[in-house]
């Protein structure tokens, strides 16, 4: 499958899911403007729609019809968008799909509530699905969704705990466990298992597909981490080196923290522990940056002495936020990037990612019970896409 064909398969699947989503999210009524409109925000931004495509392709490659899988593809995409909103709050992300994150525009309270409302709305098509694919399969889909929600919350909990405790004594295995839960289950295993369920695949075949999805998910996440550091602004929907600003635990940073010399490691750890300077809209750290700059300027002009300055900085620190000197600078992030380059951590990540993709390919090639079709082609081409994509 050429890259153009692959993109067109992705687009078609997205359109299928979006048609259903438009049916699910109410378009009028009293809560239209204050709630349902906001639910369309992320789904309507440009996105790959990997999840609906995986769901559709798996189902159809196993002989399922496009009619039977539409609702399930929509459920997968709806859950994804709900979690994206909450993840962006949890990670303090600034941008998503070429625009500011929902919580930056509308505030954390509204963003958390919109995410909850989307999770609630997703329950209704899960139940409606019974009329389309029958009770047994619809219940199995529900079970998969329940498991997925639990696995991804566990993965997120592990990562948030590492961040909270500034834990960097971690191995590739720790990372792979977290990513298996956070990315594989959520982005790959769930759509593939749901697609297989809708098509009525046997438990053994579902198990094979699940393994394929797990491996591909890990390859995908590592490549995502690589792109975050090497991608060009514009080609990639998120901020450049956002992972470093956030102090995120990627395979790359973990490798660098194991490989760098003691002195470099200590400096890197200190930088990673610093907060990111937030966009001015609402976060607390924004205040600190502004005030820090103002204090510098006032001191330069002799309008305040060092004592007064120290007192104000202390007040900021007492407030629980980072002191003005404790926010990452661009120079520091550039230092981390350089250190990562020196340690060969990007190459390490690329090779690990490639290894998982090859294993996924080998599993798929041995699954001869999946007849040749454009849908099988899509699944095969996706492997190359996952590790070669530039966004």
Q: How far is the CB of 116 from a second copy (least distance, A)?
A: 5
Q: How far is the CB of 374 from a second copy (least distance, A)?
A: 34
Q: Is 171 in the site for a second copy (CB under 8 A)?
A: no
Nearer to a second copy, 136 or 261 (CB): 136
Q: Is 121 in the site for a second copy (CB under 8 A)?
A: yes
Lay out the site mask for a second copy across 133-152 (x = CB under 8 A, - = otherwise).
--x---x--xx-xx--xx--
Q: How far is the CB of 57 from a second copy (least distance, A)?
A: 26
Which 299-318 residues touch a second copy, going by CB under 8 A?
Answer: 303-305, 307-308, 311-312, 314-316, 318
Q: Is 158 in the site for a second copy (CB under 8 A)?
A: yes
Lay out the site mask for a second copy across 261-300 (x = CB under 8 A, - = otherwise).
-------------------xxxxx-xxxxxx-xxx-xx--
The Cα 303–Cα 148 span in angstroms is 57
Which 242-261 residues touch a second copy, going by CB under 8 A?
Answer: none
Which 32-71 residues touch a second copy, going by CB under 8 A?
Answer: 34-35
Q: Is 30 in the site for a second copy (CB under 8 A)?
A: yes
Q: How far is the CB of 275 from a second copy (least distance, A)?
A: 11
Nearer to a second copy, 315 or 374 (CB): 315
Across 358-390, b (16+ Cβ under 10 Å) vs e yields ebbbebbeeeeebeeeebbbbbbbbbebbbebe
Q: Is 373 in the site for a second copy (CB under 8 A)?
A: no
Which 74-113 residues touch a second copy, going by CB under 8 A?
Answer: 83, 86, 89-92, 106-110, 112-113
């Amino acid at each position: 499958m050429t890259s153009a064909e692959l993109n067109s398969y992705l687009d078609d699947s997205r359109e299928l899911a979006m048609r259903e989503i438009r049916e699910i999210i109410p378009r009028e009524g009293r809560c239209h403007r204050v709630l349902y409109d906001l639910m369309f925000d992320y789904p309507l931004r440009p996105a790959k729609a990997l999840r609906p495509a995986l769901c559709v392709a798996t189902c159809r490659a196993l002989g399922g019809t496009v009619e039977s899988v539409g609702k399930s593809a929509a459920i997968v995409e709806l859950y994804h968008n709900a979690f994206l909103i909450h993840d962006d709050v949890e990670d303090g992300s600034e941008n998503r799909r070429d625009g500011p994150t929902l919580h930056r525009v509308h505030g954390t309270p509204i963003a958390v509530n919109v995410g909850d409302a989307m999770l609630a709305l997703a329950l209704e098509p899960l139940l409606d699905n019974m009329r389309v694919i029958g009770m047994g399969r619809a219940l199995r889909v529900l079970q998969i969704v329940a498991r997925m929600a639990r696995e991804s919350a566990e993965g997120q909990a592990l990562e948030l705990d590492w961040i909270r405790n500034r834990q960097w004594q971690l191995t590739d295995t720790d990372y792979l466990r977290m990513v298996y839960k956070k990315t594989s289950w959520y982005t790959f295993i769930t759509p593939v298992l749901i697609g297989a369920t809708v098509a009525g695949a046997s438990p053994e075949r579902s198990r094979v597909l699940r393994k394929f999805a797990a491996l591909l998910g890990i390859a995908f996440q590592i490549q995502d981490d690589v792109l975050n550091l090497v991608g060009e602004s514009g080609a990639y929907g998120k901020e450049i080196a956002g992972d470093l600003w956030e102090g995120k635990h990627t395979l790359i940073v973990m490798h660098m923290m194991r490989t760098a010399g003691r002195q470099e490691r200590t400096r890197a750890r200190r930088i990673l522990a610093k907060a990111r300077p937030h966009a001015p809209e609402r976060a607390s750290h924004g205040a600190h940056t502004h005030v820090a700059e103002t204090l510098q300027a006032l001191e330069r002009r002799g309008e305040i002495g060092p004592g007064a300055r120290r007192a104000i900085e202390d007040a900021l620190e007492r407030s629980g936020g980072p002191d003005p000197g404790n926010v990452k600078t661009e120079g520091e992030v550039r230092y981390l990037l350089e250190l990562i380059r020196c340690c060969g951590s990007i190459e390490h990540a690329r090779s690990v990612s490639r290894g998982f993709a090859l294993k996924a390919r080998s599993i798929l090639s041995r699954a001869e019970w999946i007849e040749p079709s454009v849908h099988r082609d899509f699944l095969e081409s996706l492997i190359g896409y996952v590790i070669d994509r530039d966004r």
